[in-house]
Amino acid sequence: MAWTLLIKNGSVIDGTGAAARPADVALDGDRIAAVGPGLRGEAARTLDAAGHVVAPGFIDAHSHSDLFYFACPSAESKVRQGVTTEVVGMCSFSQAPVRPGEEQTVRGWAGGIVGSDIYLDLRWQTFGQYLDALASVRPAVNIAHLAGHGALRIAAMGFENRPAGADDIKEMDRLLGEAMDAGAFGFSTGLVYAPSAYANTEELIALAKAMRARNGLYFSHIRGESSMLLDSIAEAIRIGEEGGVGVQVSHVKASGKENWPKIDAALRMIEDGKARGVDVLGDVYPYNAGSTKLDNLMPAWAQAGGIDKLLERLADRAARRKIAEECLIDGERWGTVSQGGIGFDQIFISMCKRRELEGLNLAQIARQSGIAPVDTLFNLLLEQKCTVGMVSFSQSIENVAKVIAHPSLMIGSDSIPLFEGDADKPGKPHPRTYGTFPRVLGEYARDRGLISMETAVHKMTGMAAQRLRLKDRGVLREGLAADVTIFDPTTVKDEATFPDPHRYPAGIPYVIVNGAVVVDAGRMTAERAGRILRRPT
């Protein structure tokens, strides 16, 4: 029997961290048939990978693409980076479960970024129904899903700002169990985002204990990444330790210049937890700016009840004054638990229905309008009904390098939208949407020599697969899934920038998902061979 594809003359980096070696790779349908030098045999197609690295398909360990798959199942802005699998349902956000009558609440909460709510028809209630609907659009990438703690909380107790009672926790336990039985890998929190922010530590430990028998994972956007950084990492580790589950600290960073020196202690805490036997790891994106919804700058109490209630408060003078008194620093910086102190000139509008504002920062918009920056912020949220995306610069570029190099951290883009095609595209999204993985390979591995190419690939493949306990992906080995990325180590590079983000990377000519060539000589094909990955039992 002939192989379906034979990749000849490449340098194999197999995803384990082992040194590169000359080898050929043969695929038979959706499986790797053989890996070794000088493979001989008939193949329906042969690719010459001379001068290129042949690696496992990259695994984005932290993504928000699930908000956009229904509108963009090709996921081109990810696939063209070499990504073949995404881990989604992050930071407490997921589109399921949905309690009847709460559809509009979930739509406004989970889909408020530049109208992505229009993609969320929420024609499901259970997590299993949602995964079936996701599979029906035939995404181009494999998808591993977590249940969002915010979705669990809304389904169990609405958007209430109060501790969960015993009955609430029991209902969240039931919903989480249903989600994991349907295939979810665990649950995620976004403890700076309402309603997840309303949970105390005991609630999260109870949920972790409830999923321990199913071998679930706890991924956490921790309670604070600035002044509360160390206490927040300690809380995440405690939840994993007392709950008896693996814990992942999402997008490890120290926000706010005054907090940059804390990064060393934060990394030590992760290592100390591991030394005690806690299964704790983390992920990182290779940029010193983050991105989220602009309304997430509002304090958690102002978001109680959902978007409609937040809009009511933004229209109320007394509530606006209270928010400003709590968050405004010296009239020039905005300081919340989630963001730390950030100047208005460092908060940029990334996506907005008022296209003329995209790429401008709040200080610039305020000068143009003659309105104080804080009122510019409030007015924009109110006018756009909280459907505004932002990019904020709050991190040290030196810390970014330090975190990327840390052996316990893998790579996750934390990117939100997906795009396809070569036509003009809306917004100024964070360039990590297009460039995360080639940026690690090109800038941090090749150009700066911060980590070896083998380590970089391991952080994007085998390490993430081990985190998810995916035994058939993340490594190039006979019998495993045929997810393969071929890149040129001398030219691979991210081309996306903050001013001009809609640019595909260079140096990644071929991407193969479950044996199907999805990127062929640098161009997308019509193949959509991704699968919904289910929690290993």
- CATH number of the structural domain 59-292+395-468: 3.20.20.140
Band of pLDDT at residue 333, cut at 50, 70 and 90? confident
Map tokens 């991407």 to a residue.
511
Band of pLDDT at residue 214, cut at 50, 70 and 90? very high
Band of pLDDT at residue 423, cut at 50, 70 and 90? confident
Helix or strand (DSSP H, E) at 355: none
Residue 420 neighbours by CB distance under 10 Å: 17
Non-local (6+) Cβ contacts of 367 within 8 A are none
What per-residue confidence (pLDDT) applies to 114?
A: 52
Bridge partners of 27, per DSSP, are: 5, 32
Residue 472 neighbours by CB distance under 10 Å: 15
Average pLDDT over residues 424-441: 96
Residues 261, 249: Cα–Cα separation, whole Å: 18
| pLDDT above 90 coverage of the chain, percent | 88
- Cα 345 to Cα 194, 354, 517, distances in angstroms: 26, 19, 43
Structure-block tokens of residue 100: 């009847």
Asked if residue 170 has pLDDT above 90, the reply is: yes
Segment 399-408, tens digit of pLDDT: 999 999 999 9
The domain limits of the chain are 5-55+471-529, 59-292+395-468, 294-390
What per-residue confidence (pLDDT) applies to 119?
A: 64
Q: Which long-range contacts (C-beta less than 8 Å, at least 24 apart) are formed by 258-266?
A: 258/227, 258/340, 258/341, 259/226, 259/227, 259/229, 259/340, 260/395, 260/396, 260/399, 262/229, 262/230, 263/396, 263/399, 263/402, 263/403, 264/402, 265/230, 266/229, 266/230, 266/233
Band of pLDDT at residue 116, cut at 50, 70 and 90? low
Q: For residue 97, is the peptide bond before it cis, meaning its omega torsion is within 30 degrees of 0?
A: yes
What per-residue confidence (pLDDT) applies to 337?
A: 45
Map tokens 């956490």 to a residue.
220
Poorest-pLDDT segment among 62-66, 117-121, 258-262: 117-121
Of 306, 328, 310, 329, nearest in space to 319 by CA:
310
Band of pLDDT at residue 1, cut at 50, 70 and 90? low
Residues 302, 320: Cα–Cα separation, whole Å: 9
R_g over Cα of the chain: 22
Of 312, 244, 304, nearest in space to 280 by CA:
244
Confirm whether pTM is higher than 0.75: yes
**Local structure of residue 481 (DSSP, 8 states):** B
Segment 5-20, tens digit of pLDDT: 999 999 999 999 999 9
Residues 44, 42: Cα–Cα separation, whole Å: 7
**Packed helices 263-275 and 229-243: angle between N→C axes, nearest 10 degrees:** 10
Structure-block tokens of residue 5: 């594809």
Mean pLDDT of the chain: 95
Asked if residue 130 has pLDDT above 70, the reply is: yes
Average pLDDT over residues 87-110: 93
CATH of 5-55+471-529, picked from 3.30.930.10, 2.40.50.140, 2.30.40.10, 2.40.30.10, is: 2.30.40.10
Structure-block tokens of residue 146: 């977590």
Asked if residue 32 has pLDDT above 60, the reply is: yes
Helix or strand (DSSP H, E) at 346: none
Bridge partners of 36, per DSSP, are: 24
